[in-house]
Amino acid sequence: MWNYFEDVRERIRKNLISVIQENGYPWEEYEVTTEDGYINTMLRIPYSNKNKSNNNERRPPVILCHGMDCCSAVFLNESRLAYFLADQGYDVWLPNNRGTTFSSHVSLDPTKDKEKYWNFSWHEIGFYDIPAFVDFVIKHTGFQKIYYIGHSQGTTAYAVFASERPEYNEKIALSCLLGTAIATDSQIYSYGLLFFLYIFVPFLQFIDRFIFRIHQIPFSALLRTTSTYTGASTLGWYINMLVIFFAAGNANFDQAAKFDLMKFSQTTPNTSSIRQAYHYVQVMRRGRFTKYDYGPEKNLKKYGSIEPPEYNLSKVTSPVALFYGKNDMYNDYRRDKLDEKFANVVYIHVADDEYFNHIDFLIAKDSVSLLYNDMVEIMRKYKAV
């Protein structure tokens, strides 16, 4: 795909780095290689520009994991969560998952080896990418326990990570899960995009199987380019925001009032494997948080059963804090019962805004008062060591 031409990848990378530099924060860049050969870029903000005199101080590390079709820029552009945490005295790490424009492979080329390179869902992100990020941060900081914050697919991947690699629970001081996308079909008939995906993704799967292979989520590059060139005008901004709200929940223009669409669309949407979308729809259709369904024959070979097994969330024993929006289409805080499924939910927070939706976790102008202050308060109760 054209987004993987080197000039485009480098342009997106430079844009992200410039965002950090423009805000006056120090940054570092690392490459993290997973067990199965993906090379993922991770950025770091080691300290805040507000307390440079103490830049040799040992700070507790926190990993911020982005959602599907995003990259680490979502924590830097509008939400500014990375800067907020750095200002609060944290060592902030910003990984980019496999499949983003910040990812490559030790031997596979994303354009020449499409079948193999894009053969993953969010299961592999949780099983391979997150453990590699966690181990890397622990090795470079000397801390034995670190914080994890994930949004959307970042919460899904964490549920895979902590249930499928339960030994890693000992390495997490606290996970803060924002806008959980785990094991619920409670709202798929209520909102536009989920219903659209519920109907449209099987159609894509038919094309994928019988006409031509689809490897990446379609239209991401087109949406990014369109938003960049149309979002400058008031009408263009409004129309683009309606599209975003279609993918996030009912419109919340109040919280999006200061949203800089032009800056956001320089890096988002990013790129993801189509299997990530397929996997979500499988979960929605079953109403259960299961592994990827390859079909009865392949399931039998891979799992020993014709049906994909369900993830055992009771194995997530590390402390978990859940953060919800009342207007979030991807979960229903009154019905998902994650506090019963995870073994150790220590805190539940519902943003005090009736219209707070899935994208508001990234763009809301009142994030500090609605979310971040409470997040840091609970983090300080579960100290990284």
Residue 126: pLDDT over 60: yes
Q: Who wins on pLDDT, 227 or 163? A: 163
Residue 208: pLDDT over 80: no
* pLDDT bracket for residue 231 (50, 70, 90): low
Q: Who wins on pLDDT, 1 or 316? A: 316
For 287, left (φ over 0), alpha (ψ -120 to 50), or beta?
Answer: left
The reported pLDDT for the residue numbered 331 is 86
C-alpha to C-alpha distance for 162 and 230, rounded to whole angstroms = 41
The reported pLDDT for the residue numbered 221 is 60
* pLDDT bracket for residue 30 (50, 70, 90): very high
Report pTM. Answer: 0.91
* pLDDT bracket for residue 267 (50, 70, 90): confident
Host domain of residue 326: 2-381
Q: Which of 56-70, 247-261, 345-359 has the lowest mean pLDDT?
A: 247-261
Q: How many CB atoms lie within 10 A of CB 379?
A: 23
The reported pLDDT for the residue numbered 191 is 47
| Helix extents (H) in 231-295 | 234-246, 261-264, 274-286
Q: Maximum distance among all alpha carbons in the chain?
A: 61
CB 75 within 8 A of CB 81: yes
* pLDDT bracket for residue 361 (50, 70, 90): very high
Q: Is 142 exposed, middle or buried (0-12, 13-18, 19+ CB in 10 A)?
A: exposed
C-alpha to C-alpha distance for 145 and 138, rounded to whole angstroms = 7
Q: Which are the catalytic amino acids?
A: 152, 358
CB 361 within 8 A of CB 79: yes
- The CATH number linked to 241 is 3.40.50.1820
Residue 214: pLDDT over 80: no
DSSP 293-305: ---HHHHHHHHSS
The reported pLDDT for the residue numbered 5 is 44
* pLDDT bracket for residue 3 (50, 70, 90): very low
Mean of pLDDT values over 281-305: 92
C-alpha to C-alpha distance for 64 and 379, rounded to whole angstroms = 14
Q: How many domains does the chain contain in total?
A: 1
What Å distances lie between residue 371 and 70, 178, 336, 362, CA to CA?
A: 21, 9, 20, 11
Q: Which residues contact 134 (CB under 8 A, 6 or more apart)?
A: 63, 146, 148, 168, 171, 172
Tell me the pLDDT tens digit for each residue of 129-188: 999 999 999 999 999 999 999 999 999 999 999 999 999 999 999 999 999 998 654 444
The reported pLDDT for the residue numbered 189 is 42
